[in-house]
Amino acid sequence: MGFGDFDSICKQAALPLCTMVGRNIVTGDKGIQPACYSRTIEVANTVIFQGAAGIAHICALLMTVIMIVHVRSKFTAVGRKEIISFFWGYFLLTIISLLVDAGVVPPGSAAYPWFVALQNGLASATCISLMIAGFVGFQLYEDGTFLSVWLLRICSATMFAISFIISIMTFKDIGGLGPDNTVGLFVVLYIFNAIFLAVYVVMQVLLVVGTLQDRWPLGHIAFGIFFFVVGQVIIYAFGKAVCEGINHYMDGLVIATVCNLLAVMMIYK
């Protein structure tokens, strides 16, 4: 296993992209089989993958709508338009995640690589939009203005395009990238996104410590970090153990989805 290799990740986590990267050591076919994954369920003669994760995604969609409506009602809130853009990005990401996780767009279909690339692109766009929204509190420019809103939109669109294109090139074996060369995809999805989130956290801590007398927001930041980190650790380090311990009724993807929602709710707070 080397840098940018998805083998260890996909053995623990049943991520949609895992069917598009790596090789099966037995058959040589594209894709990495997780060591354990959630069992399918059948509803009205329709097979549904990741049923528990699907429910978590639906709950996340409902909560996101509530948060968007509430933020929109706060006309005097600093960075209102910018943070709403982040919530819309998270909303779209959750919709696409629901479609690919639940098998609405089934693995092996012609549309599947494009939807997974769309999921990756939205994940990158959402992370960078959060980072850009985090600059608003420093009043480097007026929030809600043309500059502020379009800076966020352009950065998000650029990162979406980069992540989407690299994903497609990796899945389709184009331009030197491919299922066996996933370094570019790994860097975009994990290194870049981690940097965006880390910068946002640091900025918010500096903002609270430097400008606010009330320290309660530090608690929200701490809880947000806690939920996010717990979700990532469970899905990438203990996904197999969770899956086997609950007899395949759900896996680490469900817990990570819930933890991500809780982290987003702390941003809303």
Cα 200 from Cα 131, distance rounded (Å)? 5
Q: Give per-residue pLDDT as tens, 90-140.
A: 999 999 999 998 888 888 899 999 999 999 999 999 999 999 998 887 777
DSSP 8-state code for residue 46: E
What tokens appear for 247 in the block? 């007899």
Higher pLDDT, residue 123 or 46: 123
Cα 159 from Cα 60, distance rounded (Å)? 23
Q: What is the mean pLDDT of residues 14-26?
A: 82
Q: Give per-residue pLDDT as tens, 138-147.
A: 777 777 788 8
Q: What pLDDT is attached to residue 97? A: 95
Q: What pLDDT is attached to residue 8? A: 86
Structure-derived torsion over alpha carbons of residues 220, 73, 259, 184, reported in degrees to the nearest 10 = -100
Q: Would you put residue 91 in left (φ > 0), alpha (ψ -120 to 50) or beta?
A: alpha
Q: Chain-wide mean pLDDT for the chain?
A: 87
Which candidate, 251, 262, 211, 216, places its Cα nearest to that of 90? 262
Share of the chain above pLDDT 90, in %: 49
Question: 33 pLDDT band (50/70/90 cuts)?
Answer: confident
Residue 178: beta bridge partners? 181
> Over 80: is that where the pLDDT of 269 sits?
no
Query: How many residues make up the chain in this entry?
Result: 269
Q: What is the mean pLDDT of residues 214-228?
A: 90
Helix (H) / strand (E) containing 148 = helix 146-172
Residue 48: beta bridge partners? 41
Q: What pLDDT is attached to residue 7? A: 86
Could you give phi then psi for residue 167, rounded to 5 degrees?
Answer: -65, -50
Cα 231 from Cα 239, distance rounded (Å)? 10
Give all domains of the chain, ordered by start, each with its CATH number.
Answer: 7-268 (1.20.1070)
Which candidate, 112, 126, 111, 110, places its Cα nearest to that of 163? 126
Could you give phi then psi for residue 80, rounded to 5 degrees?
Answer: -60, -50
Which candidate, 166, 251, 127, 184, places its Cα nearest to that of 6? 184
Helix, coil or strand: residue 90: helix
Q: What pLDDT is attached to residue 22? A: 83
Q: Are 92 and 130 in contact (CB under 8 A)?
A: no
Distances from the Cα of 20 to the Cα of 15, 56, 150, 155, 184, angstroms:
10, 24, 34, 27, 14
Question: 1 pLDDT band (50/70/90 cuts)?
Answer: low
What tokens appear for 110 in the block? 């012609």
Q: Give per-residue pLDDT as tens, 49-98.
A: 777 788 899 999 999 999 999 888 775 566 778 899 999 999 999 999 99
Q: Would you put residue 177 in left (φ > 0), alpha (ψ -120 to 50) or beta?
A: beta
Q: What pLDDT is attached to residue 260? A: 95
Which candidate, 220, 207, 208, places its Cα nearest to that of 267? 220
Range ranked top by mean pLDDT from 137-151, 161-175, 203-217: 161-175
Q: What pLDDT is attached to residue 45? A: 59
